[in-house]
Structure 1
């Protein structure tokens, strides 16, 4: 069952994502806002940043496998809180009958 996708009924929330594009002399640059359906979890947990530091994540969301926001991407949660991406995990269900997905950890 490789390639199982996250069932749409699990994606109960919508976040707004502005992909981090880099920085300029005027500050950080972001792509246009895009709505992403997801399953949001408000839970404090420790994660390892791409730089190898252990940091606190205040929330995370699970969504489709092809969603890959880079670190520092801006995310607006359903309650209006603005946060940024710390890191992304991509669990792979392989041959198991479980969905492969992307999990995004937020500051």
Structure 2
């Protein structure tokens, strides 16, 4: 039974600086993670942001189910572009032979 996305499919490396909240001086972030294995799709697509706006996501990536990337996190894509996480979806199917993963759309 497959429990997570096979590592062989996660061909790209990204860096995530997790969003931790707002302070008196603006948004705060955790320390940048080491390189995170991911599968990046750089084709644009429309997504709905947490505040309800429709936004054009510049990239979407799939990573392991335990990746720490809340909406608002800073993401450095494989080509060096910096992006902000818009939506985060954790896909799980307990008891089914499908991989668990986290899907993140970035602007």
Q: Provide TM-score, normalisation by structure 2.
A: 0.89
TM-superposed deviation, 1:50: 1.3
Query: What is the RMSD of the two structures over their aligned residues, measured on CA atoms?
Result: 1.5
How many residue pairs align between the two structures? 106
Q: In the TM superposition, what is the alpha-carbon distance from 1:98 to its structure 2 partner? A: 2.0
Q: Determine if contact 2:18/2:68 at 8 Å carries over to the other structure.
A: no
Report if the CA contact (8 A) 2:21-2:27 is conserved.
yes
Deviation at 1:26, TM superposition (A): 2.5
In structure 2, stretches of 5+ residues that fail to align are none
After the TM superposition, which residues 68-107 of structure 1 pair with which residues of structure 2 at under 5 Å, given as runs?
68-107=68-107
Q: Distance in 2 between matches of 1:25 and 1:51?
A: 21
- Tell me the TM-score normalized by structure 1: 0.89
Q: Do the aligned residues in 1 keep the contact of 2:18 with 2:70 (CA within 8 Å)? A: yes
- The 3 A distance-change label for structure 1 pair 68 and 50 is farther
Answer whether contact 1:91 1:102 (CA < 8 A) is retained. yes
SS in 1 for 2:8: helix
CA shift for structure 1 position 93: 3.5
Q: CA deviation at 1:85?
A: 0.2
Q: Which structure 1 residue ranges, 5 or more long, are not aligned?
A: none
